[in-house]
């Protein structure tokens, strides 16, 4: 356990150095958030039909998306990709650690450090000026926090899976894009999931992606009552375990047929 | 002029051939961009399904805005890629070499790369636009088609102008300013919908500040034959896309000013 934790810490400290990039990203995301909020505002003013979420719930959901957007398994670990392209991935194999958990630790740092830099200021600004509401209740806050941790682990499992897929397709970042797009839309990052048609909800419930954003956010606004937190978080964990097992199995198979290029 | 054009086409030929060496990668990346942009559109369709209309606009009408914006942006992303990644050229000192050649700097930077994978976004925009064109009940006269083309090209010029301005900033900052992305990507996000749905200050910024309204909102009104709640005339709406071309010309002037202030990093 110790070496993996050390990797997380080291990568984490390194990634925390990119503060200027975080600031620029913050401005961009504030802008995007504003556009989205205005869009929903216009939609709510166009219709009196009952909606799955109230306007203020939606606004809170939208700002939470912007605050935690980088938790999504979007993009991949470019250092590992370059290692695979250049063949230095062989060094990774020589290390006395388990390759899966090594990459998992890397992605854990990669997903959490930028979020920590960005989420707090975003949260404060949105709460003070832009209509982000506080959690529905102390219990809701606790449940949301637990679900965010679950979302981070789930996101890492997906990221690690995309990293492993690079062993199979040297040139294409295709799998990364595909999984990234699926995470984007089916997690609720494009529009809050409750707005999708009712017939789609069953499928959305089965897929793992809901746990990345929708679950913690709806727990936060109380749209999902705290007593439903246990099954919701269990859903995240079951999928995380399944994806880890899948990743390990694929990694095992790829290593048996791995040809290291270059010299 | 003809000579420059020939050179530019030659640059493009080289770029296309080099990208075609990795055909599988190209296909995957284009497909990826297509799916990503399509996913965003699915979100819009879902919202219209829930709310019915957007302040009096139907999905088919909004799709027209959506298509124009996405095609225009895809075009500019493809041909202005050199400006988008210009910070790398300044940092590495590569720009010194550009200055030594007896050709326009803007031409050489633009010729760095024609990003073919943008065809994914373009195809998606085209699908949405074609669907919109058939779903809308408007006669597609020659004038309307010409205006649509002008809007798309004007939009592409406007986005390219933004990329050029963003690159020009690098002469002073060396590093790329990510904040500039807010205007390009944020502009795409905002211009995909009729600008009247936004707050007044926001709409004004995208009319007078960065004139996206001139390449989407006004020409689209003329194409749809809708009365403008802001009270502009049909004449103005039809000529508005010219502002997009003018924007690019101004941006190129600013670029030339920036080039004169270039100081090599010396590496």
Please check whether residue B25 is in contact with residue A171, taking contact to mean a CB–CB distance below 8 angstroms.
yes
Please check whether residue B189 is in contact with residue B63, taking contact to mean a CB–CB distance below 8 angstroms.
no
Cβ of B46 under 8 Å from any chain A Cβ?
yes
Please state, in angstroms and rounded to a whole number, the distance separating the CA atoms of residues A117 and A17: 10
Q: Of A155, A156, A154, A180, nearest to A236 (Cα)?
A: A154
Please state, in angstroms and rounded to a whole number, the distance separating the CA atoms of residues B206 and B225: 22
pLDDT mean over B150-160: 96
Q: What is the mean pLDDT of chain A?
A: 88
Q: Of B61, B254, B75, nearest to B158 (Cα)?
A: B75
Please check whether residue A212 is in contact with residue A126, taking contact to mean a CB–CB distance below 8 angstroms.
no
Burial of B91 (0-12, 13-18, 19+ CB in 10 A): middle
Report pLDDT digits (tens) over A42-93: 999 998 889 999 999 999 999 999 999 988 988 777 788 778 777 777 787 7
Please check whether residue B33 is in contact with residue B118, taking contact to mean a CB–CB distance below 8 angstroms.
yes
Please state, in angstroms and rounded to a whole number, the distance separating the CA atoms of residues B29 and A49: 40
State the complex-level ipTM.
0.89
Question: What secondary structure letter does DSSP report for B57?
Answer: B
Give Cα separations from B123 to A184, A196, B170, B261 (angstroms).
20, 24, 32, 39
CB atoms B189 and A35 under 8 Å: yes
**What percent of chain A is modeled with pLDDT above 70?**
96
Residues of B in contact with A46 (CB under 8 A): 51-56
For residue A51, the chain B residue with the least C-alpha distance is: B50
CA angle B60/B64/B68 to nearest 5° reads: 160
- In the numeric block, which tokens belong to residue B11? 């640059």
Report pLDDT digits (tens) over A12-40: 787 777 777 777 788 888 999 999 999 99
Cβ of B18 under 8 Å from any chain A Cβ?
no
Query: Would the pLDDT of B252 be above 90?
Result: yes
Cβ of A181 under 8 Å from any chain B Cβ?
yes
User: A212-216, B13-17, B47-51: which has the minimum mean pLDDT?
Assistant: B13-17
For chain A, the structural domain boundaries read 2-256
Number of Cβ within a 10 Å radius of residue A175: 19
Given this model, what pLDDT does residue A170 score? 56
Q: Of A136, A135, A142, A143, nearest to A231 (Cα)?
A: A143
Given this model, what pLDDT does residue A17 score? 73
Number of Cβ within a 10 Å radius of residue A1: 6
Nearest to A178 among B22, B32, B49 (CB): B32
User: A78-92, A122-136, A208-222, B69-83: which has the minimum mean pLDDT?
Assistant: A78-92
Query: Would the pLDDT of A98 be above 90?
Result: no
Report pLDDT digits (tens) over A196-235: 999 999 999 999 999 999 999 999 999 999 899 999 999 9
Given this model, what pLDDT does residue A29 score? 87
For residue B32, the chain A residue with the least C-alpha distance is: A177
Please check whether residue B35 is in contact with residue A181, taking contact to mean a CB–CB distance below 8 angstroms.
yes
Report pLDDT digits (tens) over B158-193: 999 999 998 898 888 776 666 777 888 888 989 999
Given this model, what pLDDT does residue A114 score? 83
Torsion, Cα of A177, A180, A181, A187 (10° steps)? 170
CB atoms A28 and B35 under 8 Å: no
- In the numeric block, which tokens belong to residue B2? 């003809």
3-state secondary structure of B91: helix
Please check whether residue A223 is in contact with residue A210, taking contact to mean a CB–CB distance below 8 angstroms.
no
Cα-Cα-Cα-Cα dihedral sign, residues A210, A216, A219, A223: negative
Cβ of B79 under 8 Å from any chain A Cβ?
no
**What percent of chain B is modeled with pLDDT above 70?**
97
pLDDT mean over B87-105: 85
CB atoms B35 and A190 under 8 Å: no
Cβ of B58 under 8 Å from any chain A Cβ?
no
Alpha helices by DSSP H, listed for B52-178, are 59-79, 81-84, 86-92, 95-100, 105-110, 119-135, 142-173
What DSSP string runs through A55-81?
HHHHHHHHHHHHHHGGGS--S--HHHH
Cβ of A86 under 8 Å from any chain B Cβ?
no
Query: Would the pLDDT of A172 be above 60?
Result: no
Torsion, Cα of B27, B33, B39, B45 (10° steps)? -100
Nearest to B54 among A42, A184, A195 (CB): A42
Which residues does residue B57 pair with via DSSP β-bridges, in sequence order? B54
Global pTM? 0.89
**What percent of chain B is modeled with pLDDT above 90?**
48
Helix/strand/coil (H/E/C) assignment for every residue in B142-160: HHHHHHHHHHHHHHHHHHH
Given this model, what pLDDT does residue A259 score? 66
Number of Cβ within a 10 Å radius of residue B79: 21
- In the numeric block, which tokens belong to residue B183? 């205007």
pLDDT band at residue A260 using 50, 70 and 90 as cut-offs: low
- In the numeric block, which tokens belong to residue B165? 């301005």
For chain B, the structural domain boundaries read 2-260
Please check whether residue B21 is in contact with residue B27, taking contact to mean a CB–CB distance below 8 angstroms.
no
Which of A50, A172, A178, A196 has the most B C-beta neighbours within 10 Å, making it the best mutation to test the interface with B? Answer: A172
The radius of gyration of chain A from alpha carbons, rounded to an integer in Å, stands at 19
Given this model, what pLDDT does residue B46 score? 95
- In the numeric block, which tokens belong to residue A168? 């199979």
Which of B46, B191, B203, B204 has the most A C-beta neighbours within 10 Å, making it the best mutation to test the interface with A? Answer: B46
Please state, in angstroms and rounded to a whole number, the distance separating the CA atoms of residues B203 and B232: 15
Q: Of A71, A260, A69, A246, nearest to A162 (Cα)?
A: A246
Please state, in angstroms and rounded to a whole number, the distance separating the CA atoms of residues A247 and A100: 8
Nearest to B22 among A42, A52, A171 (CB): A171
């Amino acid at each position: 356990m110790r070496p993996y934790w050390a990797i997380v810490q080291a990568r984490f400290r390194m990634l925390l150095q990119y503060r200027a990039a975080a600031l620029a990203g913050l401005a961009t995301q504030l802008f995007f958030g504003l556009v989205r909020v205005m869009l929903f505002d216009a939609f709510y003013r166009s219709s009196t039909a009952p909606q799955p979420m109230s306007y203020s719930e939606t606004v809170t959901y939208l700002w939470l998306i912007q605050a935690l957007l980088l938790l999504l398994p979007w993009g991949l670990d470019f250092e590992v990709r370059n290692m695979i392209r250049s063949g230095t991935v062989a060094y990774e194999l020589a290390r006395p650690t388990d390759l899966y958990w090594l990459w998992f630790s890397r992605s854990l740092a990669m997903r959490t450090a930028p979020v920590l830099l960005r989420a707090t200021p975003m949260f404060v600004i949105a709460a003070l000026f832009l209509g982000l509401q506080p959690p529905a209740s102390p219990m809701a806050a606790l449940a949301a926090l637990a679900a965010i941790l679950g979302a981070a682990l789930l996101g890492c499992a997906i990221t690690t899976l995309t990293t492993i897929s690079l062993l199979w397709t040297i040139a294409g970042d295709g799998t990364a894009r595909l999984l990234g797009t699926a995470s984007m839309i089916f997690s609720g990052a494009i529009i809050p999931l409750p707005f999708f048609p009712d017939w789609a909800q069953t499928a959305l419930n089965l897929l793992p992606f809901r746990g990345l954003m929708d679950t913690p956010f709806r727990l936060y606004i109380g749209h999902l009552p705290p007593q439903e937190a246990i099954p919701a978080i269990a859903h995240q964990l079951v999928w995380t375990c399944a994806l880890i097992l899948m990743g390990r199995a694929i990694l095992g198979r790829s290593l048996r047929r791995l040809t290291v290029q270059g010299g | 002029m003809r000579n420059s054009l020939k050179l530019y086409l030659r640059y493009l030929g080289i770029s296309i051939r080099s990208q075609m060496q990795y055909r599988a990668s190209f296909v995957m990346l284009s497909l990826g961009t297509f799916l990503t942009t399509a996913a965003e559109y699915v979100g819009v369709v879902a919202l219209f399904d829930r709310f019915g209309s957007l302040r009096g606009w139907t999905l088919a009408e909004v799709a027209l805005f959506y298509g124009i914006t996405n095609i225009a942006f895809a075009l500019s992303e493809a041909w202005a890629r050199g400006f988008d990644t210009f910070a790398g050229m300044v940092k590495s000192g590569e720009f010194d070499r550009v200055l030594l050649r007896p050709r326009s700097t803007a031409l050489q930077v633009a010729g760095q790369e024609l990003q073919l994978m943008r065809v994914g976004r373009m195809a998606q925009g085209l699908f949405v636009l074609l669907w919109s064109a058939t779903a809308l009940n408007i006669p597609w006269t020659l004038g309307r088609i010409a205006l649509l083309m002008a809007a798309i090209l004007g939009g592409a010029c406007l986005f390219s102008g933004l990329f050029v301005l963003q690159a020009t900033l690098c002469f002073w900052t060396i590093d790329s300013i990510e904040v500039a992305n807010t205007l390009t990507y944020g502009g795409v996000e905002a211009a995909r919908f009729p600008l009247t749905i936004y707050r007044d200050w926001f709409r004004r910024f995208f009319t007078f500040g960065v004139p996206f309204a001139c390449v989407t909102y006004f020409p689209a009104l003329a194409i749809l034959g809708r009365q403008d709640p802001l009270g502009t005339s049909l004449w103005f709406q039809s000529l508005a896309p010219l502002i997009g071309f003018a924007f690019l010309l101004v941006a190129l002037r600013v670029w030339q000013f920036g080039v004169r202030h270039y100081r090599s990093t010396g590496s």
